[in-house]
Chain A
Amino acid sequence: MKSLKILVMDDEIYANDLNPAILAVERLRQDGHSVETTDRMSVVLNSLKSRHFDVYVLDIDMSAVVDELQDANGATIGKVLRQWSAFSNIVVFSARGEAPHWFASANYHFQGYVFKGDRGVDELSAHIAQLASQTVHMDFSLEKCALPRDLVIYRHESLPSTVLPWQRIRELCHRVFPDPVLHECTRLQEVQDALKTDPACVLLLHTMFRDQETTWADLDVILAVQPTPQVIIGVDSGAGGAPESNRGVILQLVNRHPFRLVDLTQSDCEVTLETSLAAARLWYARQEIFEYPTDFQDFVGHPLSAEDLEAIRMQDELFAEQEDGDEE
C-alpha cells in the first residue's frame, strides 16, 4: 500500500487524553502513513502555499481552539480545499457534525465522512487505505459529449404531495434539459432497468432510505454508473424525528458519493435541485471542478506560482506597450 502524507486537523489533537483524534493519528502512523497534526484551521489553509498533503483529515467542530478564522468549521475548510483544487482529498473525522455538514461533504465530493464512534478509528484507517490504493483518473477533455435526452427520475411514494410533486419535477427537468425524455420510476429496481437507456442524469427522491442491505445493494448498482450519468439524491433529513436519528443513513449516502445530496427539508430545495441538475448536465461524464474560493483568497492564496505570474505579467506589459506603440 502506498504511504500517504496526511494532515490531521482536530481541536483536541494536543489534549492530554486518548481521544479519538489522537488514537487515529497513532493508527494512521502504524498503517505506514506520514502524519502531521494541527489544531488550527488557518494552518491548513496556509499550508497550501508551502506544503503538499495527499489527504486532509478534518474535524468539524473546531470551537475548542481560538483561530484567526471566524465562523468556520471543518466542513468549511474542506469545501475551500475542494474549491482550491478538485484533487484535494478530504476525509471528515468528527463526532459533532450536523446535517448541513453531512450534505456539504457529499456535495463537495469529500472522499469520506467518518463518525468518531466506537469503530471510528478502524473506519478512518479503512477509508485512508482505500484512498492509498486508488489511482485518480483526470479527465480534462474539452470534447463535448453527446448528451442523451433521457432522464431517470425516482420519487418514492412516501414523499408528501407537497414536496416536489411529479409535475414540479417535470418542470424542473424541462427547465434544465432541452426536450428531455423522462423515465418515471417508483421502485429502485425500475431505476436499474431504466439505466439501460444511457440517461443524462438520475434523480432519486425519498423521504429517507431504509438502512437495509437490499436498499444499499440497489443504490450501489445505480451509483456505480457515475459519472455517466451523474446521480442526484434528495432525502428529508428530518424524516421521523431529529436529523441526528438519520445520521447513520445519511452518512452511508455521503460515503457512496452521489453527485449531489439534497436536503428536502430546506425551503430552497427546489432551487438547489435545479442547480444540481444544471451542474450534472455540465459535468456529465467528467469530474466536477468547483469555482475558485474567492471568499477565502486571503487565506489560501491563488495557486499560481510567483514565476507563473511574473511570466504572464511580463507578457501583459509587453502587450500594453505594443498597443501604445501601434496607436502612435
Chain B
Amino acid sequence: MKSEPLYLLDTNVIYDMLTMLTEKPSGIGRSIDKFLSVTNKKVYISDLVWTEFSISWFQKNISFPDYELWYSRKLASYAQVYQQLLRRNVELLPILKLSAGGYAGVVDLARDLAIVKYDDSFIREVQKNFDRKLENALREEPTEKNRQAHHEYVERLQKNYYNGKLLDGLDSMILASSILFAQENPKSTVTLVSNDRWMGTAANHLMLNAASYSLKNLTKRPFTLKIKTPAELGR
C-alpha cells in the first residue's frame, strides 16, 4: 500500500512564488501558492534548491552603480519568500542526510545523468516537439499585450531547435537528489514540482529507460518519482 505522497520544490517554482508579492502574481505563482496553502501533504525543498535559488538571486545581474539599494531590495524579497516557505510548512531536505550515500550519492548519480548520451530517437523527438511548438506559435496571432513575449518565445524556440538544453545547471543534481529521496521513501509517490519542461522530459525518459542507459543507481532500489508543473498539481 502506498504511503502519503511527498513533494519536492524545484528552483524555478521558488522564483514564481516571489510574484505573489506583486499586484499581478504569475499563474505559476498562484498555482503553487494555492497548492501550498491547501495541501496537508509534506512538502520539501532540498538544501541544493534553496542554495541554487540564493545564488541566482544574489549573485547574478548585480547592479554595481546602485549596489546597496539593489541588495536591500533583493534581501527584502528573499526574506518574503523565506517567510512564505516557513508559514506554509515547507521543510528542508538536507541531501547530506539522504540514506543512499548523501552528498556523495547525489554527486555520483548526477554525474552519471550528466554524461548520458541520449538515444538519437529521443533527441529527434525533442526536436520535433520544439518544431511543433514553433509551428503552433507562428500560427498564433499575438495580441498587442503579449506581442513582445510572443516574439521572445518564438525566438527562444527557434534557438532551442538547434541549441537546446536538457539537464543543465544544477538540474542533474536536483534530479539525482530527488531520485535518492524517492528511493529512501519507496512506499510514497514523490513529486518534483518543476516548471522546467525540458528537464522533466529528459528525466522521464532516463527514468523509463534506466536499464538501457546503464544507470545502475536508478535500477537497484525501487522508487516512484513524478515530475509535475505547478498547474498539473491540481489535476
Q: Could you tell me if A317 and B19 are in contact, using CB atoms closer than 8 angstroms?
A: no
Query: Given A50-B69, A142-B91, A302-B21, A84–B76 Cβ distance below 8 Å?
Result: yes
Query: Given A52-B68, A142-B82, A144-B91, A87–B18 Cβ distance below 8 Å?
Result: no
Query: Given A142-B45, A303-B77, A315-B195, A324–B61 Cβ distance below 8 Å?
Result: no
A271 to B23, CA, bound (A): 30
Query: Given A52-B72, A305-B70, A316–B28 Cβ distance below 8 Å?
Result: yes
Task: From the candidates B12, B19, B83, B137, name the one contacting A309 in the complex (CB within 8 A).
Answer: B19
Q: Is A189 an interface residue (CB 8 A)?
A: no
Q: Is B231 an interface residue (CB 8 A)?
A: yes
Q: Is A318 an interface residue (CB 8 A)?
A: yes
Task: From the candidates A5, A305, A312, name the one contacting B73 in the complex (CB within 8 A).
Answer: A305
Quote the shortest CB–CB distance from A325 to chain B (angstroms): 5
List of B residues within 8 angstroms of A302 by Cβ: 21-23, 77
A257 to B231, CA, bound (A): 43
Task: From the candidates B61, B86, B153, name the one contacting A318 in the complex (CB within 8 A).
Answer: B153
Q: Is A319 an interface residue (CB 8 A)?
A: yes
Q: Which residues of A contact B (CB under 8 A)?
A: 5, 48, 50-52, 84-87, 138, 140-144, 282, 286, 289-292, 297, 302-305, 307-309, 311-325, 328
Q: Is B92 an interface residue (CB 8 A)?
A: yes
List of B residues within 8 angstroms of A311 by Cβ: 15
Q: Could you tell me if A303 and B82 are in contact, using CB atoms closer than 8 angstroms?
A: no
Query: Given A303-B21, A317-B149, A52–B12 Cβ distance below 8 Å?
Result: no
List of A residues within 8 angstroms of B68 by Cβ: 5, 52
Quote the shortest CB–CB distance from A306 to chain B (angstroms): 11
Q: Is B16 an interface residue (CB 8 A)?
A: yes
Query: Given A51-B69, A292-B21, A325–B91 Cβ distance below 8 Å?
Result: no
List of A residues within 8 angstroms of B91 by Cβ: 142, 144
14 further contact pairs, Cβ within 8 A, besides A142-B85, A289-B83, A308-B77: A52-B69, A142-B92, A305-B74, A312-B15, A315-B195, A316-B19, A316-B27, A317-B152, A317-B153, A318-B149, A319-B231, A321-B137, A323-B231, A325-B136
Q: Could you tell me if B83 and A314 are in contact, using CB atoms closer than 8 angstroms?
A: no
A84 to B83, CA, bound (A): 12
The 8 A CB mask of B10-26 against A (1 = contact, 0 = none) is: 00100110110111001
List of A residues within 8 angstroms of B27 by Cβ: 316, 319-320
